[in-house]
Amino acid sequence: MTQFSTFSQFFGLIKALAIKTIKLRYKNSILGFFWSMINPLIYLAIFTFIFKNAFLEIDRYPLYALIGLIFWIFFSSSTIQVIESIIYNSGVLKSINVPTIAFPLAAQLASLINLFLSMVPFIALMLLFGLKIGWVTLLFFPILILFSCFTLGISLILSSFNVYFRDIQFAWTSFMPAIFYSAPIAYTSSLIPVKYLWVIKLNPLYHFIGALRDVLYDNVTPSISDFLSISILGIVPLVIGLFVFKKLERGFVSQY
């Protein structure tokens, strides 16, 4: 990291790359950034129309579904962008001495910026649907940090192998519907028979979205065991992802 010897220089690089990523994403788009809000709203309209009467036991169903949808879309879009970040920037890596890790970090930061920008109008909509804001709501930030760590960790592992085997990104895209439907995004875990509930709990999104709903939907503090679970799920994959990325990074250039 000779050109970016200080943290401020390295962070400046990541921030610049993230902003560039956002600009390129919406370049020549008429609606631009508004697409990040249209996607969850379409899903919400479908879920509300189809499932609202089926899930009468779920109070404020639009709010319940919207919380799950916002963070599902954050997870799915983040992983795809990070997985593709090394391949899409292979030309830059071959010609300029830039730390390789900067590209997946920039892709993750771009997704976070996109999430926070979209949350501004969504908070107004969530208030309309019955969101209650209190001191507990502040726990949203540490939970989101842990969720981002998990997302980045998984994405680093996948992006590292994707350089060598391009099937990874296609397999991940194909596998995502299974992840979506195995997490209680449009439904509650109470609908799952007790004997099969352990299968649903194997999906890390079950725990993260559950914690986010605790603070944003129920306005309660997640239990200590839940916080411990999402802390482990956030930190361990990130450490493994950084380790795998570092191990495989040396062979990236030869694969382009």
User: CB neighbours of 107 closer than 8 A, spacing ≥ 6?
Assistant: 18, 21, 78, 81, 82, 84, 85, 155
CA distance 107 to 103: 6
pLDDT in the model for residue 1: 43
In angstroms, the Cα distances linking 110 to 15, 61, 82, 85, 168 are: 8, 30, 10, 11, 22
The angle at the Cα of 225, spanning 219 to 226, to the nearest 5 degrees, equals 45
pLDDT in the model for residue 220: 93
pLDDT in the model for residue 5: 57
Tens of pLDDT along the chain (256 residues) come to 445 557 788 888 888 888 887 777 766 555 555 666 677 777 777 777 776 666 767 788 888 888 998 899 999 999 999 998 888 877 777 667 778 899 999 999 999 988 888 887 788 888 888 888 889 999 999 999 999 999 999 999 999 999 888 889 899 999 998 898 888 888 888 778 788 888 888 999 999 999 999 999 999 999 999 999 999 999 999 999 999 999 998 877 665 5
CA-nearest of 159, 154, 177, 179 to 169 is: 159
CA distance 205 to 67: 12
CA distance 62 to 41: 10
Per the CB < 8 A criterion, the answer to whether 179 and 71 are in contact is: no
CA distance 140 to 66: 15
Name the residue ranges covered by the structural domains of the chain. Answer: 2-255
AA identity, residue 221: T
pLDDT in the model for residue 8: 80
Dihedral sign for Cα 220, 224, 226, 232, please. Answer: positive
